[in-house]
Chain A
Amino acid sequence: MNTPRLSRREFLQGSALVVGFSFAGIPAARAQAFMGASTHTLDLGELDAFLAVRKDGSVVVYSGKVDLGTGHRIAMRQMVAEELSLSAADVYRIELIEGDTALTPDQGATAGSTGVMRGGVQLRQAAATAREALLALGAAKLQRPANELTLEEGMVGAAGGPKVSIAELAGDRPFNVKLNPKAPLKDPKRYSIVGRSMPRPDIPAKATGRHVYVHDFTLPGMLHGRVVRPAAVGASLLAVDAASVKHIPGAEVVVVGNFLGVVADNEWAAVRAARELKARWSEGKGLVGHENLAAWARRGPFARDEVIQNKGSTAALADGNPRTQRATYAWPVQSHGSIGPSCAVADVRADRATIWTASQATHRYQPALARVVGLPRDKLRMIYLDGAGCYGMNGHDDASADAALLSKATGRPVRVQWTRADELGWDPKGPPQLLEMRAALDEGNRIAAWEADMWVPLATANLAHVPLLGPADAGIAQPAGQSVGLVSQNADPSTPVANLKVTAHWLADAPLRPSNIRAPGKVANCFAVESMIDQLAAAAKMDPLAFRLRDVTDPRGMEVLKRCAALIGWTPRPSPAATARNAGGKARGRGIAYIHYKHNETYVAVAMDVEVDRASGAIQVLQIACAHDCGLMINPDAVRNQVEGNILQTLSRALHERTTFDTQRVTSVDWASYPILRFSDVPALRIELIQRVDQPPLGAGEAASAPVPAALANAIFDATGARLLEVPFVPALVLAGMKAAPLAAG
């Protein structure tokens, strides 16, 4: 075997020291999992990569996908338990190991709302393979044909006949069986675990302050580190005055090229040293500035133009057609805005290293971090621990690199936690998007033609990973390019349009380092598309719901629209409301939006009632309704939690959020300059989830985000006649919109 990889036993032994002093529940529990296990594989084609049975009959699951606060931890267990016909109580006995490069197979990053849809489905197939294997082992043991045997609650046997436990058949022994992609799955009609709202196992510890986040993880002899980020994006370090922190006990300065950090035994000492350290930096590379984003997007430089969709003829949009609507929509740069600043702990030794990280992709970042610590990939182990919710790549991978650089420089384990300003200033950002929509109605008020143009940063093909800040400053080459996610999807209506053209003007660069942010691109795209649908309905003087229902052909799409309308008590009438012409006081309105996510995943309709203060322009959302169909729901309450989160987080993004920056640096670096949703903004939520046990499970982590801004904009249009084309919908924008609206008072 020439694969440079340690066996699980070797890792167990290597980490035995860690077991002794770490938090109960993490490495200790992990250690138990490998007692007796020797040469486990991480090969995605092997059952043993995903699943093992312990001597006591409990099950261990190795998941490359992690729980980012989204409920995977219960859903994955339920999927596995169902195929193995475990009892409900045994669901909680499953040990789930997540995102550990030494122990879990590389199932890809936990991103794109694919945790259950891809990762969970893979684990389910592993469990089905294990069921087959256990039946075969039982057949040999009991001397009966496998097809006469069943597996129930950890026992293999025939009705009325002798039984043998899975512990006896496979306890602490590898299966040595290939993953069978065709292993038969349980008939959904017989589900007793999947489809139940079983409580999440992590919440009792989270509600009582006992849950161990990466922020809480400590090692003996560990130093606290802080990074002093450059004074401007792209600035070089000119001089450091180490004496400026001499008064702080134990504070040491670390300089590696342009990478500047401090460490101390005491965390507060590290905090103060980072604040008080005097350093001189060059000017930055020169940023576009948030106020110039639209001009920048039109100007380029561009990587290329790409016609993404082209069918029929859009000749109906020819200049002069009075039945054409056009509008340009702008989405700002936004931060992931994690409540806990990014954090990581690294222990870099001469011959090996370990990084505890909240990364969404430990396997992907392992080679990058191995270069940082200067060791072969197989000598670096990365272990996922929960961070604060990230909703895409926040600073977690940068923090891993920061901790690794400081640990390597000091020879001690180092914990790095970012400041609030680091997180809002330096996390890779959701990229800006500019969209132009043109659509024409025919004589019968149907959509005759549709054209969309988008100006958005291009995702570099085959980019190994997002370039990391610390290593780049330290002179360790980072991949040239940028990552934004699949941003061009859903820039066309979710309903069929015969004459359609969608063009992407791919920008070669981004104003600030970008990364994927929840429902990448699709939030802005759906904002533009579903706002334009509303404009067409208004031009046709048709009820916006009826306009959509007329065009939707997919029965599942039709159903979410109808259920959503029923939830909010939709009254059919054209927008804007008759009262939109009134002066003074509060304007009330309602709006709706719909998406078939990526055109082949989850169906969502969102509607809302809003109130706009005509004098101040302040928006109060009174009620939001959502109907949601993500196919088979493994755990409906966990899905509901995600849907609520999608709605409220995107309401926050639409109402409040915009990263501001000048030519040098980000200027929205605290919760005053980068405000997010507060309790006083929170409307009543009415959510209906459609369970479809006969359908594959689809993602629930993103889709419900997408229709929120359009439903809000459409409700504001209904209330006031103001068509908002730019996020965030701050009061000044609403006032300007009302002034410009053709229906403005007077």
Chain B
Amino acid sequence: MASYNLLVNGKRQSVESWDPAQPLLYLLRNELKLHGAKFGCGLGQCGSCTVLIDDSPARACQVTVSAAVGRRITTIEGLGSPEKPHLVQAAFIAEQAAQCGYCTNGMVMSAVALLRGTPRPSIDQSKAALDGNLCRCGSHDRVLRAVQRAAGTPVEKS
């Protein structure tokens, strides 16, 4: 069993893993009790497990623990809380941009990453940035509205 030093949400954390190839997702969820990132496919196809690594969106099911060492990892819990949500989280709440909410983690994290690089994205830019995040409930329109709202360019409801 080897130890790995991770930097998660600004905090140094030591985690044990019997397998250097263990995906970061399992360590976040089971060792650090950060349940915001969700297992959806384990294939990097759906985006439910998205976290930020050095500010870029990454699929935590595809990043091994050994590859995560020395990188800056941000999970959805590191952005804000129900009492004090991050701007993007507040926009999701204002737009009621979820149904079951299982994909919401990935939507929020991908939106945060988008807005860091593109503070005022067009709808098409938002769609492109979120295209790798799957939602089954059909909350897409609200997610796009939430991104626009977070960017300071809210759309009227039609």
Verify A644–B131 contact, CB threshold 8 A. Answer: no
Q: Name, among B18, B100, B103, the residue most crowded by chain A CB atoms within 10 Å (CB to CB).
A: B100
Give B14-30 as 1s and 0s: 1 = Cβ < 8 Å from A's Cβ atoms. Answer: 00011100110010011
Would you call A389 an interface residue if the criterion is a C-beta within 8 Å of the partner chain's C-beta atoms? yes
How many whole Å from A506's CB to the nearest CB in chain B? 30
Would you call B113 an interface residue if the criterion is a C-beta within 8 Å of the partner chain's C-beta atoms? no
- Once bound together, how far apart are the Cα atoms of A399 and B86, in whole Å? 35
Verify A648–B80 contact, CB threshold 8 A. Answer: no
Which of A187-208 touch B at CB < 8 Å? 199-200, 202-208
Would you call A267 an interface residue if the criterion is a C-beta within 8 Å of the partner chain's C-beta atoms? yes
Given the interface pairs A339-B48, A641-B142, A679-B127, the reply to whether A69 lies near B39 with Cβ below 8 Å is no
- Once bound together, how far apart are the Cα atoms of A721 and B82, in whole Å? 52
Verify B100–A670 contact, CB threshold 8 A. Answer: no
Q: Which residues of B contact A212 (CB under 8 A)?
A: 35
- Of A211, A266, A272, A338, the residue contacting B136 (CB under 8 A) is A338
- Once bound together, how far apart are the Cα atoms of A686 and B158, in whole Å? 5
- Of B22, B35, B134, the residue contacting A671 (CB under 8 A) is B134
Q: Which residues of A contact B135 (CB under 8 A)?
A: 339
Would you call B42 an interface residue if the criterion is a C-beta within 8 Å of the partner chain's C-beta atoms? yes
Given the interface pairs A419-B42, A679-B140, the reply to whether A208 lies near B85 with Cβ below 8 Å is yes
Would you call A70 an interface residue if the criterion is a C-beta within 8 Å of the partner chain's C-beta atoms? yes
Q: Which residues of A contact B48 (CB under 8 A)?
A: 339-340
Would you call A386 an interface residue if the criterion is a C-beta within 8 Å of the partner chain's C-beta atoms? yes
Verify A208–B128 contact, CB threshold 8 A. Answer: no
Q: Which residues of A contact B43 (CB under 8 A)?
A: 420, 670-671
Verify B76–A208 contact, CB threshold 8 A. Answer: yes
Verify A268–B82 contact, CB threshold 8 A. Answer: no
Given the interface pairs A205-B82, A339-B134, A679-B130, the reply to whether A641 lies near B41 with Cβ below 8 Å is no
How many whole Å from B136's CB to the nearest CB in chain A? 5
- Once bound together, how far apart are the Cα atoms of A562 and B75, in whole Å? 47
Verify B41–A215 contact, CB threshold 8 A. Answer: no
Give A684-696 as 1s and 0s: 1 = Cβ < 8 Å from B's Cβ atoms. Answer: 1111000000000
Which of A630-644 touch B at CB < 8 Å? 637-638, 641-642, 644
- Of A249, A266, A340, the residue contacting B40 (CB under 8 A) is A340
Q: Which residues of B contact A684 (CB under 8 A)?
A: 158
Would you call B4 an interface residue if the criterion is a C-beta within 8 Å of the partner chain's C-beta atoms? no
- Once bound together, how far apart are the Cα atoms of A210 and B101, in whole Å? 11
Which of B102-158 touch A at CB < 8 Å? 102-105, 108, 126-128, 130-131, 133-144, 158
How many whole Å from B28's CB to the nearest CB in chain A? 10
Verify B100–A641 contact, CB threshold 8 A. Answer: no
Given the interface pairs A200-B96, A212-B35, A215-B38, the reply to whether A671 lies near B45 with Cβ below 8 Å is yes
- Once bound together, how far apart are the Cα atoms of A419 and B41, in whole Å? 7
Closest to A205 in B: B82
Would you call B67 an interface residue if the criterion is a C-beta within 8 Å of the partner chain's C-beta atoms? no
- Once bound together, how far apart are the Cα atoms of A267 and B27, in whole Å? 9
Would you call A209 an interface residue if the criterion is a C-beta within 8 Å of the partner chain's C-beta atoms? yes
Would you call B99 an interface residue if the criterion is a C-beta within 8 Å of the partner chain's C-beta atoms? yes
Give B70-100 as 1s and 0s: 1 = Cβ < 8 Å from A's Cβ atoms. Answer: 0000011101111001100100110011111
- Of A208, A419, A644, A671, the residue contacting B77 (CB under 8 A) is A208
Given the interface pairs A210-B77, A339-B134, A341-B39, the reply to whether A204 lies near B82 with Cβ below 8 Å is yes
Would you call A216 an interface residue if the criterion is a C-beta within 8 Å of the partner chain's C-beta atoms? yes
Verify B131–A679 contact, CB threshold 8 A. Answer: yes
Q: Which residues of B contact A649 (CB under 8 A)?
A: 136-138
Verify B40–A268 contact, CB threshold 8 A. Answer: no
- Once bound together, how far apart are the Cα atoms of A329 and B18, in whole Å? 54
- Once bound together, how far apart are the Cα atoms of A337 and B101, in whole Å? 15
- Once bound together, how far apart are the Cα atoms of A652 and B135, in whole Å? 11
Verify A207–B38 contact, CB threshold 8 A. Answer: no
- Once bound together, how far apart are the Cα atoms of A200 and B89, in whole Å? 15
- Of A199, A388, A420, A645, the residue contacting B102 (CB under 8 A) is A388
Verify B79–A340 contact, CB threshold 8 A. Answer: no
Q: Which residues of B contact A203 (CB under 8 A)?
A: 92-93, 96-98, 101
- Of B76, B100, B108, the residue contacting A69 (CB under 8 A) is B100
Verify B82–A210 contact, CB threshold 8 A. Answer: yes
Closest to A202 in B: B101
How many whole Å from A588's CB to the nearest CB in chain B? 19
How many whole Å from A223's CB to the nearest CB in chain B? 12
- Once bound together, how far apart are the Cα atoms of A678 and B126, in whole Å? 12
Closest to B136 in A: A339
Verify A268–B19 contact, CB threshold 8 A. Answer: yes
Would you call B60 an interface residue if the criterion is a C-beta within 8 Å of the partner chain's C-beta atoms? no
Closest to A645 in B: B138
How many whole Å from A219's CB to the nearest CB in chain B? 13
Verify A670–B23 contact, CB threshold 8 A. Answer: no
Would you call A414 an interface residue if the criterion is a C-beta within 8 Å of the partner chain's C-beta atoms? no
Verify B93–A215 contact, CB threshold 8 A. Answer: no
Would you call A68 an interface residue if the criterion is a C-beta within 8 Å of the partner chain's C-beta atoms? yes
Would you call B57 an interface residue if the criterion is a C-beta within 8 Å of the partner chain's C-beta atoms? no
Verify A420–B41 contact, CB threshold 8 A. Answer: yes
- Of A207, A340, A386, A648, the residue contacting B140 (CB under 8 A) is A648
Would you call B52 an interface residue if the criterion is a C-beta within 8 Å of the partner chain's C-beta atoms? no
Q: Which residues of A contact B46 (CB under 8 A)?
A: 339, 420, 671
Would you call B8 an interface residue if the criterion is a C-beta within 8 Å of the partner chain's C-beta atoms? no
- Once bound together, how far apart are the Cα atoms of A212 and B101, in whole Å? 11
Would you call A676 an interface residue if the criterion is a C-beta within 8 Å of the partner chain's C-beta atoms? yes
How many whole Å from B31's CB to the nearest CB in chain A? 9
Given the interface pairs A339-B40, A340-B39, A386-B100, the reply to whether A670 lies near B45 with Cβ below 8 Å is yes
Give A271-282 as 1s and 0s: 1 = Cβ < 8 Å from B's Cβ atoms. Answer: 110000000000
Verify B141–A682 contact, CB threshold 8 A. Answer: yes
Q: Name, among B17, B41, B76, B142, the residue most crowded by chain A CB atoms within 10 Å (CB to CB).
A: B41
Closest to A217 in B: B35
Given the interface pairs A203-B96, A389-B102, A671-B45, the reply to whether A209 lies near B35 with Cβ below 8 Å is yes
Q: Which residues of B contact A302 (CB under 8 A)?
A: none
Q: Which residues of B contact A671 (CB under 8 A)?
A: 41, 43, 45-46, 134
Chain B residues close to A by CB (< 8 Å): 17-19, 22-23, 26, 29-30, 34-43, 45-46, 48, 75-77, 79-82, 85-86, 89, 92-93, 96-105, 108, 126-128, 130-131, 133-144, 158
Please give me the 10 A-B residue pairs with the lowest Cβ-Cβ distance, nearest first: A209-B36, A69-B100, A648-B138, A206-B101, A389-B100, A645-B138, A209-B76, A388-B102, A204-B82, A216-B35
Can you offer 11 A-B residue contacts whose CB atoms are under 8 A? A203-B98, A211-B101, A216-B29, A266-B26, A268-B23, A338-B136, A341-B40, A387-B100, A389-B102, A638-B96, A670-B41
Chain A residues close to B by CB (< 8 Å): 68-71, 199-200, 202-213, 215-216, 249, 266-269, 271-272, 337-341, 386-389, 391, 417, 419-420, 637-638, 641-642, 644-649, 652, 670-672, 676-680, 682, 684-687
Q: With contacts A209-B75, A210-B82 known, what are 8 further pairs, Cβ within 8 A?
A: A210-B36, A212-B35, A216-B29, A391-B136, A645-B99, A648-B138, A679-B126, A680-B128
